[in-house]
Chains A and B, each alone.
Chain A
Amino acid sequence: MPEARLGATAGRFATGLLGVGAALLAWKLAAGAIASPLILPPPGEVLAVFWRLLSSAPFWRAVLGTFGRVAAAFALSILAGTATGTASGLSPRVKDFLAPLLTTIRATPVLALILVAMFWLPSSGVPVFTAFLMAYPVMHTSVHSGIAETDRELIEMASVFKVPARVRFFKLRLPSAETHFLAGAKNALGMCWKVVVAGEVLSQPARALGTGLQDSRLSLDTAGVLAWAAATVLLCGTSEFALGLAARSAAKRRHGGAA
């Protein structure tokens, strides 16, 4: 059985690799047809720039700076989203109270938030604030759904046995919300990476992937822009993958291997 599963995983991986190969080939053909590296440099050129970036200290400082901002925005959105999502999952009144605010945040274009934040905050704070505002409603909604959708039959069982509210909250409500929480966290993390880098492009803080992107753009270095963008995609994908692994192992521990 494990061999069969391994084979299926390898098969999926090979298919994915084939897809990447096809996309690279299409890119190479398009770059050849356009024949202007300013508009579309070939993949080899971007790879060479990316390789040079990897061996430069400013790149790693930028990675650390952006990673710190993403971590801060992610942590804030997890904390705030869990707090208000839990409260609104337990109380319809809190849910109604927060609904207009959340709708407004969700409907506001990210660019407008970045521009407004630039009036209020130092350049390194803009991406954190904006990413927090974009990721917070995602976490709020996920946690709210998890808490509100706790199995009614289990709640009824806890009521009959007069299980204290504190125990009910920590042992029943919170674990019930785990799947929703993890799905929300994964979405929020991806959103934080995208919005933090977008915020950095406009607010230009020191040591930032977004600043690297913008600098390359101003130097008309299209290959550089694509290399910085590739670095962002890789970092975002890696952190989402790491979060997924941690979530799966936590679920496996909680459910005794039945997750």
Chain B
Amino acid sequence: MSAFAASGIRKAFGDLAVLSGVDADFPAASVTAILGPSGCGKTTLLNIIAGLLPADSGSLTGFPEAGFSYSFQEPRLLPWLTASENVAFALSGAPGDPQALAGRAERFLRSAGLDKFAGQRPAKLSGGMKRRLSLARAFAYPSDVLLLDEAFSAVDLKLRIELMDLFSLLWREERRTTIMVTHDVQDALYLADRVLVLSSRPAKVLDRLEIAAPRESRRYGSRDFAEFEERLYEDILG
């Protein structure tokens, strides 16, 4: 049985039904990608899991007691704080000894290659560095569940792969139960252990896929997963 699960999750905004009974489980210390067409309710599901939105019906197991960290599509950094202060801001409510938390912040900044820029404010960082900082912040927070909402999208391919490789590196350092929302099949195949495919709105789980190959051996866009790829495209495009 999985540590974290969602069952029968329904959500509507007024007359607009977004989720119509989503059932999913999320094994501990694994990366689950939620894949689906734009606007199908992936982020809504993520926000319900994080407790930012209430579900109309359905239940969550494990999530209500869990601590979350989040990496968003936009880095969401406070422009008046330095890189290290931005991480410290997020960690200010984290459970644990403050000194140990400061140590974590330093460690993940270093792992993300940002230790030399710890004293710089976001205006002085490149777009890629801001994204890396957002990932480092999410890992530095000692959460039970890491949520990634299109954290690798809206950047060029080279930076996208760099960011995903950084994620893998940080994840190996601390294997965190991760749920990533993406609309990109290649991203899901590159990073996830499991893929859940949501249907168009009102969404429910259309398909589930297990990817056994170790993440380290995968190459972005390779044909090694052609079969999976075809199946996922078929799911999404119908």
Known: A160-B70, A161-B69, A161-B70. A255 touches B92 (CB 8 A): no
Write out the residue numbers on chain A whose beta carbons fall within 8 Å of the beta carbon of B72.
153, 157
Chain A nearest CB from B216 CB (Å) reads 29
Contact A162 B76 (CB under 8 A): no
Nearest A residue to B147 via CB reads A160
Contact B52 A256 (CB under 8 A): no
Write out the residue numbers on chain B whose beta carbons fall within 8 Å of the beta carbon of A121.
none
Chain A nearest CB from B48 CB (Å) reads 13
Give Cα distance in the complex from A81 to B90, angstroms.
Answer: 30
Number of interface residues of A (CB under 8 A): 21
| Interface residues on chain B, size class | 20 to 34
Give Cα distance in the complex from A175 to B121, angstroms.
Answer: 14
Chain B nearest CB from A182 CB (Å) reads 13
Give Cα distance in the complex from A239 to B89, angstroms.
Answer: 36
Known: A160-B68, A161-B70. A167 touches B92 (CB 8 A): yes
Give Cα distance in the complex from A85 to B200, angstroms.
Answer: 44
Give Cα distance in the complex from A52 to B59, angstroms.
Answer: 83
Contact A175 B93 (CB under 8 A): no
Give Cα distance in the complex from A23 to B121, angstroms.
Answer: 46
Give Cα distance in the complex from A159 to B82, angstroms.
Answer: 20
Contact B52 A159 (CB under 8 A): yes
Contact A258 B123 (CB under 8 A): yes
Per-residue contact bits, chain A 145-172, to B (CB 8 Å; 1 contact, 0 not)? 0000000011011111111100100011
Is there a chain A Cβ closer than 8 Å to B98's Cβ?
A: no
Task: Give the dominant DSSP class at A's interface.
Answer: helix
Using a CB-CB cutoff of 8 Å, which residues 122-142 of chain B contact chain A?
Answer: 123-124, 141
Give Cα distance in the complex from A172 to B85, angstroms.
Answer: 12
Which listed residue (A153, A162, A254, A257) contacts B94, Cβ 8 A? A162
Using a CB-CB cutoff of 8 Å, which residues 44-96 of chain B contact chain A?
Answer: 50, 52, 67-70, 72, 74, 76, 78-82, 89-94
Which listed residue (B67, B68, B74, B147) contacts A153, Cβ 8 A? B74
Contact A164 B92 (CB under 8 A): yes
25 pairs across A/B with beta carbons < 8 Å? A153-B72, A153-B74, A154-B76, A154-B78, A157-B70, A157-B72, A157-B76, A158-B89, A160-B50, A160-B52, A160-B68, A161-B68, A161-B69, A161-B70, A163-B93, A164-B93, A167-B92, A171-B92, A254-B80, A255-B80, A255-B121, A256-B123, A256-B124, A258-B121, A258-B123
Extra contacts, 11 of them, besides A157-B76, A163-B89 (Cβ < 8 A), are A153-B76, A154-B78, A157-B90, A160-B50, A164-B93, A167-B89, A171-B89, A254-B80, A255-B123, A257-B123, A258-B124
